[in-house]
Amino acid sequence: MPGTGMKIFGGQAARKTREARMEDRFAGWAGLEPRYKAQTEITERAGKEEKNIENRFRQVRSTAEETVIIDELRTKVSSGAKDPETLAAINALAKKGQLDVALFNRAVDNFRDMPLALTKVFSEWKEGKFGGVRADELIPILRDIRTPLEAKRIGYNFIASDDGKRVIEDRSFDYAEFKEMYEILGGRNTKDGRTAKKSAGEIKPTIVGEYNFKFPTTEFDDPADYPADIADAILKQIKKTGSKDFTKYGKDIWNNPEFKSALGDLLYNKATTDIGNARKYTEEVRKWLIRESKDEDELRVFNDAATMAGI
Amino acid sequence: MLNIGESKIYNPYNTYLNQTGDDRFKYRKFHDNLRGLPEKLQNFIFDTVPADFIKDKISVPLEFNEDQSKETAMVIMDLILSDLYLGNIVNEIQNRLAVDQVKAKTIAGLIIAELFAPILEELKKRHLEKFAKNIPRQQSQNQNNQVFDDRVVNLKD
């Protein structure tokens, strides 16, 4: 706002600060400490200590030496102290992809009133590709009410990336999880939201289809694009699926009745539009499913749909 | 070129699949065999060429009925899977398609010289590996000469 001296928007860093200050204010009202200033101090000191740890890692000459340092850091985190050294140890483990769920929970217990510190842990953890946690462990961490909003954004952006797709592939990543991820990342109006939707749609078209069906007004500009039902929403989702992309679908997708219906419609539409291209497409999908699919029922579902479509 | 609904008659994969019915064991064995094939043969099977060839070059010119067309597709799949020896192709076609020897030779010639041309070397290698030791030397030599040299199958017969 020119002339007022007020700065409303200031990028990601400013948003973090605003949110931290807001949380700080709430904490202050609730009689909790530490305040924002104390948090920044502890994270800055932890940053310096982390650099020392990184130097130690750089100087190791063998895996055994590295293991000694990692064990030392684990012990430090397990001790549960709430000081810069412990925060540095957590961050260093996260960056190395060595922070497991038990240690993370310990960290959350220690620093639960310090959202800035926890967000920093997530930044480092993302750099370490969230190594040390399984997909079904990361999801509850992101849903945890104690996890700061900015940390959630970091985690969900990771899930939407190529490195994080293992989380979407996991059975525990369902409609509710997608909704949470998409909305926290800003939905259709942000680049992060759109990337998350694209990534999820490539692996789980059923959940993205369900979302589009439930929220047509936010997801589509033209009412003509509103899905008639969930199967129609899934059909719109898989319309541009390349033949090899079918191998990305898990068992839960192939067993989904709405997906089966959408697949049947997809192949029927292709067959009635151009039977030659429909046959080529069908043979390509079969070839990839034969080569890469782990479950023979996937091909059975596909063949049933192709037969029904007359291909 | 196939129309809608004709794949179940001319497509070797589809006809083979239909023949397995609800037998899960047969279904699994069939797909395990397909998985075990070299990429070149998989690419050949999962293409539109074999079905179009069966319809346009064999079934329509020879006025085959639906069962004969399906059996032609089955013979082709049997050969690709090495469930049927190339050396026995003429006899198999004669018996399974219920045609005379002249027609059987014509069909065998078309399959080997034209349809299988891009994969013939691969097929020969696999068939020799699988069948050579089970066939008496003299017979094997005769059959190899008869079948593997496509000039021996007279397309004009």
pLDDT tier at A23 (50, 70, 90 boundaries)?
low
Average pLDDT over all residues of chain A:
88
Could you report the per-residue pLDDT of A82-119, keeping only the tens digit for each?
A: 888 999 999 999 998 888 888 888 888 888 788 888 88
- In total, the C-beta contacts within 8 angstroms joining chain A to chain B are 44
Domain encompassing residue B125: 7-148
pLDDT range class, residue A17, cuts 50, 70, 90: low
A212 close to A227: Cβ distance less than 8 angstroms:
yes
Asked whether residue B112 is domain-assigned, the answer is: yes
Residue A21: what pLDDT? 65
The answer, yes or no, to whether residue A5 has pLDDT greater than 50, is no
Residue type, A198: K
ipTM over 0.90: no
Indicate whether B39 belongs to any domain. Answer: yes
Measured between CB atoms, does B14 come within 8 Å of chain A?
yes
Sign of CA dihedral A192, A194, A199, A201: positive
Residue A231's identity, in one-letter code, is A
Q: Is the model's pTM score more than 0.80?
A: no
| pLDDT, averaged across chain B | 87
Q: Is residue B154 part of a domain?
A: no
Residue B5 above 70 pLDDT?
A: yes
Is the pLDDT reported for residue A3 higher than 50?
A: no
Query: What integer pLDDT is reported at residue A4 of this predicted model?
Result: 46
> Rounded to a whole number, what is the distance in Å from the CA of B19 to chain A's nearest CA?
14
Q: Kindly determine whether residue B5 and residue A303, on different chains, have CB atoms separated by under 8 Å.
A: no
Task: List pLDDT tens digits, range A177-218.
Answer: 999 999 999 999 999 999 999 999 999 999 999 999 999 999
**pLDDT tens digits for A119-128?**
888 998 998 8
- Closest partner residue to B2 among A279, A286, A309, by Cβ? A279
* Nearest chain A CA: its distance from B79 CA (Å): 19
Which of residues 250 through 279 in chain A touch B, CB cutoff 8 A?
Answer: 271-272, 275-276, 279
B-chain residues within 8 Å CB-CB of A275? 1-4
Determine the Cα–Cα distance for residues A250 and A210; give it in Å rounded to an integer: 17
User: In 3-state terms, chain A is what percent helix, strand and coil (to 5)?
Assistant: 75, 0, 25
Residues A60 and A69 sit within 8 Å (Cβ to Cβ): yes
CA distance A72 to A99: 13
The single residue listed with the structure tokens 């030791």 is B133
Q: What is the pLDDT of residues B86-105, one digit of tens each?
A: 999 999 999 999 999 999 99
A257, pLDDT greater than 80: yes
Residue B59 has pLDDT above 70, yes or no: yes
Counting the structural domains of chain B, the total is 1
- Percentage of residues of chain A with pLDDT beyond 90: 60
**A296:B43 CB<8 A:** no
End-to-end CA distance of chain B: 26
Tens digits of residue pLDDT in A118-167: 888 899 899 889 988 899 999 999 998 888 999 999 999 999 999 999 99
How do the domains of chain A map onto residue ranges?
A: 76-190, 235-311
pLDDT score recorded for residue B139: 52
